[in-house]
Structure 1
Amino acid sequence: MKKRTALYAALICTIMTGCSLKSPVSETVTEPESTAETESAEIPQTPAETTAPPTIEEFPHEVEDPTAAPPEQKFEEGCRILLASDIHYLSRGLTDFGDGFKYKVEHGDGKVVNYIWEITDAFIEAVKKEDPDLVILSGDLTLNGERDSHLDFAKKLKEIEDAGIPVIVIPGNHDINNTAAAQFTGAQALGTSHIGPEDFAEIYQDFGYDEAVSRDSASLSYVYQIDDYNRALMLDTCQYAPYNQVGGMIQEETYDWIEDQMEDAWDLGMNVIPVGHHNLLDESEVYVEDCTIEHSEQLIDQLDSWDVPLFLSGHLHVQHFMREDEDYGIYEIVTSSLATPPCQYGMLDYGDDGSFKYHTVPLDMEAWAKEQGSTDKNLLNFKAYSEEFLNRVFYNQAQDEFERMNNFDSLTKRQKDQMAKVYAEINSACYAGKAVEIKDKATEKAGYKLWGENGYPSILSQYLESIVRDATKDYNSLEVK
């Protein structure tokens, strides 16, 4: 018997609205209709930032279901939350845009760091237009925890709050005690000042920490009151003592604090929306150790015992969602990185009855650039530029893998090129949560078959197979009643 059931009979007499026992939920996922097939894009050389990018073919657009409610429709009783994650802001003063910075961008993980300032400014304007009840940023606020990046980013967030929209944050694995914090000078990446946990709470005191109704003494976790019926349980899932680690966990003392917060919310008749940087469920088959919270089953059981329907996270950089079990348990929605194409955020309508509706919104960088009077052709054609950019980065990842592992030595340059292109095509679609749209055609290509024949034991080969297995739906919308 769940803990909430024992109190239900007494509470229902006095609470007519707000937090209530959840009836069995059913999932309604917005599925894309069939679309015309497209060939994968060729991977060109890096274009000059001041010239127009080459024309590439786009992934098919999702066809809207005419029977579906319009995305802007808001629940009559509930809150609207704008979600963004993994922004990875870098202070402009920490780079001279030299060769070291360019290599970091081109051989990174797909973040468009060379336009992170424009992406951030466009995001701020998008938030003002959306006018949500709350903005939640679920970690990795900075590129690598640079002090200057944190200070500058906090000033950016103030622009949102000055518009009357509250913002709350939690740290990600990149944000605290990160010895990789660097400034880029010429071909070098030189160390720069980073911050500790106390600094994080001080810098972001106006974005959740000084507004918390409760703070955990063992971590940077806290509770934020959204409205009369909803609270955000902001969970610090990061390991940063003495230095940051990629994987996540929750301190044992924090579990006791979480239980106290759940009891308090239940007594007050409030819903709790938990948010963490790391993933609650095994959203990635391959990168479980680095992405899923260590011993996450303890947190799952704890949240299940209070009938919490939804957990929000980031970290993976891939747009995704899943449920604990096919027919039972908590849902988790992972919002992809704002810094990584398609550079999108999530909109969550959360009803006072625990129902919710989620969809993603790509930043309209082209419209923003026009409004700003920009002459940068990459920004004015950002959709094409960013898609080509991401394909090129993933193409480089595959080529780097071929150089590292001798099991690819027998392959010709053309074969490696075919493999790198299909890896880039499938992974780019996966990051957008739309691999289902290109899976059938992509897996028929010679490059994909070469991965199957020659890929083992490459982690990229395993990752590619896991994407294809998982490509059963579009992961950009979810509605649960």
Structure 2
Amino acid sequence: MKGKRWIAVALVCLAGVGIGGCSIFTGAPGDVREESETMGEDGLVVPSASSQETEESSQTKPTKTEPESIPPFPDAERETKAEPMEDGERIVLMTDVHYLARSLTDRGISFQNEIEHGDGKLTHYVWEIVDAAFDEIELLTPDVLIVSGDLTLNGEVKSHEEFAALLDEVERRGISVLVIPGNHDINSRWASSYIGKKREPVQTIDAGGFASIYAQFGYNEASERDPYSLSYTYDLSPSMRLLMLDTCQYSPVSKIGGMIGTETYEWIDRQLEKAREDGVILLPVGHHNLLDQSRVYTEDCTIEHSEELIERLEAENIPLFLSGHLHVQHFMRHEDGRGIYEIVTSSLTTPPCQYGVLEYRDDESFSYYTRQVDMEKWARRHQSTDENLINFNTYSKTALKNIFYNQAYDAMKNSRQEEKGDLFVKLTEEQKKAMAEVYSRMSTAWYAGKGYEAVKGAVEDPGFKMWQEFCYPAVLYEYLEYMTADSVRDYNKLQSE
């Protein structure tokens, strides 16, 4: 059936029909599918090799492409300490850091290949980005820093230990830190070192190891802990409680997608009831998405059967859910603007390398905005001679565009000629380059939550017309059409109604 479906859909695309879904999905950004792993001693896991699988994804529909008006938010002065909030809590949100221990790479050929043909993370500058970001947030005087999963590149035990040491330095500055795991953090078969030309497997950790390494960043201070997962609650103030949800699947090995087990739902029900009895605000945080933030990446990004969680949260009139995982700056509201909001903060190490600031008031209204890490300022202060860091704003955007260009070009290069029934798709070198360029430009803007700035130029580009003509490679075409349909506003600023 899949083969017949492909033939029919591809023929429709080549017949010149406009934007319409026609792809078979191959996975979430930067992720690959999981198979078996070998358990080592002391709960450590040694990864084994595997291959990707493909799955079908939902179709998308075009919408308007003009940006909507969003109330402006003043960015706090970077040289002046912000005044603490008097009527609520200020929360700094970082996610998908994908930290790699320095000892696990010599920045050689294997490491550079991972960067240049990866999913957009600037892992070769993760140490500088994290250092700069942690320096900056002190001036914001936040009540808490939340790191919502994918703390490490692929769950390397050394990366966890080194990152935890950096979080300890943040707490020594007087900022509380809370973490939850992401799908890359526990029982990962991709934990590796990158030395010279070789990528070698290294040890990862299990759930118990995660809770042990990050004990002082939520787990030892929790008000309540779920015995069936790494979920917990944390009293941020007398009037606000954080519901830190472990949405990951890692037993026996890590999976990309998110799910919450039956026992954990029972624990969540008790926490909702307790918050109501205690008269406190409950703010839920997870790694995976509550809502279908991406119509292309629903299966591996949205929590499986998330309608169960949505129903519980909306029954308690909880207005907001915070997440990451997608690596894209985004937000949306359930039920056509009547239900719960979800804000997805983009990956800290993916350009434009930013984090979120949430000001959540006692009346449960909130303001959210993002701040780009000022790497050029960091380079000046540290007297760096690295031209990429000195000119980071230009470099990082160009680097991301090149990565997305490589993604598209490699997909076409590796599929020079493919037979789909009686249909052959064969692209010239000029067509590949033109199509890869427009895909790269649109992806770079969309990841930053500012696709509306690029969408008009993209759809008028000859390369975009080629995507519409060929709908090939299909998974990238569906991704491109979704980005253009979704680019209607600036996703970096949100104020509750």
Q: TM-score range by the shorter chain?
A: 0.7 to 0.9
Q: Which residue of 2 aligns with 1:150?
A: 160
Q: Superposition pairs for residues 396-411 of structure 1, below 5 Å?
A: 396-405=406-415, 406-407=417-418, 410-411=426-427
Of 403, 409, 433, the residue aligned with 1:417 is 433
Q: Superposition pairs for residues 65-464 of structure 1, below 5 Å?
A: 68=72, 70-72=74-76, 76-405=86-415, 406-407=417-418, 410-456=426-472, 458-464=474-480
State the alpha-carbon separation in 2 of the partners of residues 404 and 273 from structure 1: 45
Q: Mind listing any 5+ residue stretches in structure 1 that lack a counterpart?
A: 1-61
CA contact (8 A) 1:127 1:160 kept: no
Of 487, 491, 495, the residue aligned with 1:471 is 487
TM-score w.r.t. structure 1 length?
0.85
Q: Which residue of 2 aligns with 1:26?
A: none
CA contact (8 A) 1:456 1:462 kept: no
The CA deviation string for residues 1-60 of structure 1, in whole angstroms up to 9 with x for no partner, is xxxxxxxxxxxxxxxxxxxxxxxxxxxxxxxxxxxxxxxxxxxxxxxxxxxxxxxxxxxx
State the alpha-carbon separation in 2 of the partners of residues 210 and 235 from structure 1: 16
One-letter amino acid matched to 2:442: I
State the alpha-carbon separation in 2 of the partners of residues 83 and 227 from structure 1: 17
CA contact (8 A) 1:134 1:165 kept: yes
Compare 454-463 and 370-379 and name the one that shifted more: 454-463
One-letter amino acid matched to 1:404: N
Q: Which residue of 2 aligns with 1:41?
A: none
State the alpha-carbon separation in 2 of the partners of residues 354 and 217 from structure 1: 29
One-letter amino acid matched to 1:220: L
The CA deviation string for residues 371-425 of structure 1, in whole angstroms up to 9 with x for no partner, is 1111111100001110010000000000111023335852211111010010000
The CA deviation string for residues 329-362 of structure 1, in whole angstroms up to 9 with x for no partner, is 1000000000100000000000111101000000
State the alpha-carbon separation in 1 of the partners of residues 406 and 75 from structure 2: 36
The CA deviation string for residues 136-170 of structure 1, in whole angstroms up to 9 with x for no partner, is 01100000000000000000001110000000000
One-letter amino acid matched to 1:467: M
Shift of residue 69, structure 1, vs aligned partner: 5.3
State the alpha-carbon separation in 2 of the partners of residues 179 and 461 from structure 1: 30
Q: Which residue of 2 aligns with 1:29?
A: none
State the alpha-carbon separation in 2 of the partners of residues 440 and 217 from structure 1: 50
Q: 1:189 aligns to what SS in structure 2?
A: strand
Shift of residue 237, structure 1, vs aligned partner: 0.3
Q: 1:421 aligns to what SS in structure 2?
A: helix
State the alpha-carbon separation in 1 of the partners of residues 383 and 473 from structure 2: 50
State the alpha-carbon separation in 1 of the partners of residues 85 and 137 from structure 2: 19
Shift of residue 79, structure 1, vs aligned partner: 0.2
Q: 1:478 aligns to what SS in structure 2?
A: strand
CA contact (8 A) 2:323 2:345 kept: yes
State the alpha-carbon separation in 2 of the partners of residues 325 and 183 from structure 1: 45
The CA deviation string for residues 222-273 of structure 1, in whole angstroms up to 9 with x for no partner, is 0011111111100000000000000000011111111111111111110011
State the alpha-carbon separation in 1 of the partners of residues 347 and 426 from structure 2: 36
Q: Mind listing any 5+ residue stretches in structure 2 that lack a counterpart?
A: 1-66, 77-82, 419-423
Q: 2:256 aligns to what SS in structure 1?
A: coil
Q: Superposition pairs for residues 30-69 of structure 1, below 5 Å?
A: 68=72
Q: 2:426 aligns to what SS in structure 1?
A: coil
State the alpha-carbon separation in 1 of the partners of residues 211 and 413 from structure 2: 43
Shift of residue 325, structure 1, vs aligned partner: 1.5
Q: Which residue of 2 aligns with 1:32?
A: none
Q: 1:349 aligns to what SS in structure 2?
A: strand
Q: 1:312 aligns to what SS in structure 2?
A: strand
State the alpha-carbon separation in 2 of the partners of residues 356 and 423 from structure 1: 34
The RMSD of aligned alpha carbons is: 1.7
CA contact (8 A) 1:309 1:330 kept: yes
CA contact (8 A) 1:105 1:113 kept: yes
Shift of residue 75, structure 1, vs aligned partner: 5.4
State the alpha-carbon separation in 2 of the partners of residues 394 and 415 from structure 1: 16
Percentage of pairs with the same residue: 52
CA contact (8 A) 2:425 2:470 kept: no
Q: 1:246 aligns to what SS in structure 2?
A: coil
Shift of residue 76, structure 1, vs aligned partner: 3.7
- Give the paired residue count: 419
TM-score w.r.t. structure 2 length?
0.82
Q: 2:427 aligns to what SS in structure 1?
A: coil
State the alpha-carbon separation in 1 of the partners of residues 303 and 473 from structure 2: 25
State the alpha-carbon separation in 2 of the partners of residues 470 and 404 from structure 1: 28
State the alpha-carbon separation in 1 of the partners of residues 370 and 176 from structure 2: 20
User: Structure 1 residues 368, 462: CA separation in 2 closer, same or farther (over 3 Å shift)?
Assistant: same
CA contact (8 A) 2:329 2:345 kept: yes
State the alpha-carbon separation in 2 of the partners of residues 69 and 400 from structure 1: 40
CA contact (8 A) 2:95 2:151 kept: yes
One-letter amino acid matched to 1:381: N
Shift of residue 68, structure 1, vs aligned partner: 4.3
Shift of residue 98, structure 1, vs aligned partner: 1.1
State the alpha-carbon separation in 1 of the partners of residues 471 and 198 from structure 2: 33
State the alpha-carbon separation in 2 of the partners of residues 76 and 185 from structure 1: 50
Q: Which runs of 4+ in 1 moved over 6 A?
A: none
User: Structure 1 residues 250, 103: CA separation in 2 closer, same or farther (over 3 Å shift)?
Assistant: same
Shift of residue 204, structure 1, vs aligned partner: 0.2
